[in-house]
Amino acid sequence: MTTSTGATGRYSLFDALPDAVLVVTAQPKLVYANKAAATLFPALDNYAPGAMVSRYIRHPAILDLAETVFTDDWDAGADPERFTLPGKVDRRLSVQAAPIEGADADNAGPATALIMLHDETAMWRAEQMRADFIANASHELRTPIASIIGYIETLQGPAKEDRAAHEQFLGIMQDQAQRMSRLIDDLLSLSRIEIDEHMPPSARVRIATIMSKAVDVISPLTEREGVSVDTLIDPALRDAEIVGSEDELVQMLQNLLDNAVKYGSEAGRIEIGAAPDDKKPGNILLSIRDFGQGIPPEHVPRLTERFYRVSAKTSRARGGTGLGLAIVKHIVNRHQGVLRIESTPGEGSCFMASLPLAAKPTAPLVAIDFVPQIVDNPPK
C-alpha cells in the first residue's frame, strides 16, 4: 500500500471506511485509493498516485463515471449505477461520484472527484434467492393445478358418460389436490419458522419424549411400508432435556424419519438415536439412520436448499415437496444447533442434529425436612 504523504495523506481517513473510495482527477488520474478499494481491485494494492485510473480498473461503469462527474452531463441526484464485478464469486456493486475541491492540501491543484463503491452482493443474492424461490413455488403449484384443470375438462367433455373414467380421474385429481395441500402446509411451516428463527426458544423438552412422539406420528407410514423403527437412547440421556420448541423438534425428527422411510427403507428398518456428541461436548446428537441406497456425495451439500431433490420424479412419486430438509435446517438453526449429513452410496444415510443440552435444573434453595411417617395399615 502506498504511504500516506502529501496529497494522499489528507485522504487517509478513508482507510477506515468499509466501502471502496477513490479520489480521481479529470483525466482521470488516480490521486488516492483506500484500503477497501484494494480488496475489490487487488491491482490497487501498490498503486502509484498520478497514474491513469484505467491502469488499475477496467470496469466501464467506473471509468465512465470518473469522466462524466467533471462534465455538465453529470447529475448529482441520479441513482447510483449498479454493475457486476466478475470473479471467483461475482460481486454486485453500486458506484456513485461527487466532485470535491483540489487535490492539494491547500485546496489548490486540479479539480478532483470522489468515486464511492458500495458492495451490494449480499442483498443482491438474497433478492435473487427470493425471486428463485417464488418461481419454484409457483411452478410446483402450477403443475398439479394444470393437471386438475385438464381432468375437469375431460370429465366435462369426452369422458362425460364414462363411469370408469370418472373413478380413475377423480382419484388422480384427489392426489394432485393433496399434493398442493402438502406444499402449502410446508411453505407455511417454513415461513413461520423463518420468522421466529432469530428468537431462541425458551421451553424445556425431554429428548426421549420428542423421539417417541415423532415415532408415533410416523407410525402409519412405517406400518404401511413394513419398516421397523429402532429407538436407541444412551441410558445417561434418558431424562436429558434441551431448550426448545416441542412441536418444532418433533417436526424435525418426523421429516427425517419420513425421508428415511421414503428413500432409504430397502433394508426394512431404520434407527432413531440420541447420544452425546463426541465432536461437541455439552451437545446431544439426535440421529436418524437408514440402510438404503445412500446419496451420491455431490448432492449432499445441497440437500437443505429449498426444492432441491436428488430425483424430483422419485420425490413426487413418494409425496415429497422438496421442502422437508429446508424446514429441518431452519429448526436446527433456531435451536442453536448444526445439521450433519453422512451418506455412503449403497450403505445408507445418517442425518444428525447436534443440539445444546439444557443445563440441569438447579436444586431447590430451601431444604425440606422430611419426617417419615409410620403407617399402621399400609395400602396394598
Ligand X SMILES: Nc1ncnc2c1ncn2[C@@H]1O[C@H](COP(=O)(O)OP(=O)(O)O)[C@@H](O)[C@H]1O
Q: Where does this chain bind ligand X (CB under 6 A)? A: 255, 259-260, 263-264, 290, 292, 295, 303, 309-311, 315, 320-326, 349
Please, are residues 251 and 189 in contact by the beta-carbon 8 Å criterion?
yes
Least Å distance, CB 170 to Mg ion, is 27
Least Å distance, CB 320 to Mg ion, is 5
Closer of 127 and 185 to ligand X (Cβ): 185
d(CA 301, CA 98): 45
Closer of 91 and 316 to ligand X (Cβ): 316
Distance of CA 251 to the CA centre of its chain: 18
What burial class does residue 81 get, using C-beta atoms within 10 Å of its C-beta: 0-12 exposed, 13-18 middle, 19+ buried? middle
d(CA 297, CA 310): 11
Closer of 59 and 329 to ligand X (Cβ): 329
User: In the bound complex, which residue of the shown chain has the CB atom lying closest to Mg ion?
Assistant: 324
Closer of 324 and 337 to Mg ion (Cβ): 324
Using the Cα atoms of residue 280, residue 326, residue 255 and residue 310 in order, give the sign of their dihedral: negative
Closer of 64 and 185 to ligand X (Cβ): 185
Continuous segment of H or E residues that includes residue 100: strand 91-100
Strand order in the sheet with 348-356: 228-233, 269-276, 283-290, 348-356, 338-344
Closer of 22 and 253 to Mg ion (Cβ): 253
Least Å distance, CB 56 to ligand X, is 46
Least Å distance, CB 138 to ligand X, is 17
Least Å distance, CB 328 to Mg ion, is 9
Least Å distance, CB 263 to ligand X, is 4
Closer of 53 and 288 to ligand X (Cβ): 288
Beta strand segments in 161-276, E: 204-206, 228-233, 241-243, 269-276
Pick one of ligand X, Mg ion, none as the site partner of residue 264 (Cβ within 5 to 8 A by kind). Answer: ligand X
Pick one of Mg ion, ligand X, none as the site partner of residue 337 (Cβ within 5 to 8 A by kind). Answer: none
Least Å distance, CB 291 to ligand X, is 10
User: What are the residues binding Mg ion (CB under 5 A)?
Assistant: 259, 320, 324
Pick one of Mg ion, ligand X, none as the site partner of residue 263 (Cβ within 5 to 8 A by kind). Answer: ligand X
Please, are residues 294 and 345 in contact by the beta-carbon 8 Å criterion?
yes
Taking the chain, what is the end-to-end CA distance rounded to the nearest angstrom? 89
Q: Are strands 269-276 and 228-233 parallel, antiparallel or unpaired?
A: parallel
